[in-house]
Amino acid sequence: MSRRTDGRDRPMTDSPTGYAIETDRLTKSFGEVAVLRGLDLRVPAGRIFALLGPNGAGKTTLINILSTLLPPDGGRARVGGFDVVGDRERVKSVISLTGQYAAVDEILTGRENLIMLCRLSGLDRQQATTRTAQLLEQFDLVDAAAKRAGSYSGGMRRRLDLALGLIAIPSVIFLDEPTTGLDTRSRQALWQVIGSLTELGATVFLTTQYLEEADQLADRIAVINDGVLVAEGSAHELKNRVGTDVLELRDADDRVITELGTDGTADGLQRLLAGLTEEQRRLRVSVRRPSLDDVFLHLTGQPTDQETAA
């Protein structure tokens, strides 16, 4: 990989195979617990890729292996064309793992944080000023630039953290649950920023517990369960795999009381409606396409955290 450090060049994300990330029968256990059990994954370069899976499926373990923080037990993994074990230093030079490599200094302002890390990354004063201005603009931090980072809200802090991780424009950006704990508005602001990262040529690999996040952001989505890949595709492709539409019955307060699978044809609906109880027939009826929540349930046999909470 070659890259200028003045922040204007686009990184070369492609490995010889065209994938930014490739794993081949990857395994990892903690004691008796086999977390990854032969995981095969291909992540195309320059795209946003979301990894979904139930709690404990091994998502963080996979990110830790791909970002060289944890060695795998078996199999292979390549990031930016480099082997995570044999070429560890080169992998580290092409990735950004926000929240780990870039520490926000609370005493400094947002601008000072960025300038400092730019200088530590080898940019001269003029380059550091230019790159800082670009990042403040890109991450919607211009108004907050002169305020101490310690006074930032959760969303602003997350954006500053992300900006600090992108000073050198990495090839592959790992985001482990980037918007967990943020309110809806901050989450949407961060989605805009994440959505723009591929414009720089980077590949974004994110895990999320919000299926809406994957639906909105990701070009490709992989679902892992029990340490193996159970599905991979665009949101549209995954929804089609569920195979059925969903008939919803709602009460007067618009709460969903019952969901029933249907082929969506007039005949199918007629059969379904004929089988409703007296009580169900008083409810409001609508038909929708499957959501990613339905996909998740279909593939893993478990509802999402959000659905469980609801």
Residues of this chain that interact with ligand ATP (CB under 6 A) are 30, 33, 35, 53, 55-61
Cβ nearer to ligand ATP, comparing 265 with 306: 306
Give the 3-state DSSP-derived string for 47-86, with helices as H, strands as E and coil as C.
CEEEEECCCCCCHHHHHHHHCCCCCCCEEEEEECCEECCC
∠ CA 42-44-47 to the nearest 5 degrees? 130
Q: Measured from the CB atom, is 63 or 114 closer to ligand ATP?
A: 63
Helices then strands, each counted (H, E), the chain: 11, 13
Residues 6+ apart with CB under 8 A from 264: 244, 245, 287
Write down the least CB distance from residue 192 to ligand ATP, Å.
24
Q: Considering all CA atoms of the chain, what is the largest pairwise distance in Å, rounded to the nearest integer?
A: 75
Give phi and psi for 294, each to the nearest 5.
Answer: -65, -40
Q: Which is nearer to ligand ATP, 53 or 110 (CB)?
A: 53
How many whole angstroms separate alpha carbon 77 and alpha carbon 25? 9
Cα–Cα distances (Å) from 126 to 111, 122, 131, 221, 224, in that order, read 14, 12, 9, 40, 45
**Residue placing its CB nearer to ligand ATP in the complex, 53 or 81:** 53
CA 307 to chain centre: 19
CB of 28 to ligand ATP, least distance (A): 8
Distance of CA 36 to the CA centre of its chain: 19
Q: Which is nearer to ligand ATP, 58 or 165 (CB)?
A: 58
Q: Is the Cβ of residue 35 or residue 43 nearer to ligand ATP in the bound state?
A: 35
Question: Who contacts 30 (Cβ-Cβ below 8 Å, separation ≥6)?
Answer: none
List the end-to-end C-alpha distance of the chain, in Å, as a whole number.
Answer: 46
Q: Which is nearer to ligand ATP, 54 or 165 (CB)?
A: 54
96 vs 225 by CB, closer to ligand ATP? 225
Find tokens 């890390």 and name the residue.
117
Least distance from C-beta 62 to ligand ATP, angstroms? Answer: 7
Nearest approach in angstroms of CB 58 to ligand ATP is: 4
Quote the least distance from Cβ 35 to ligand ATP, whole Å: 4
Q: Which of 78, 77, 44 is nearest to 205 (CA)?
A: 44
Beta pairing, strands 48-52 & 220-225? parallel
Minimum CB distance to ligand ATP, residue 194 (Å): 19
Minimum distance, C-beta of residue 152 to ligand ATP, in the bound complex (Å): 25
Minimum separation from the CB atom of position 63 to ligand ATP (A): 8
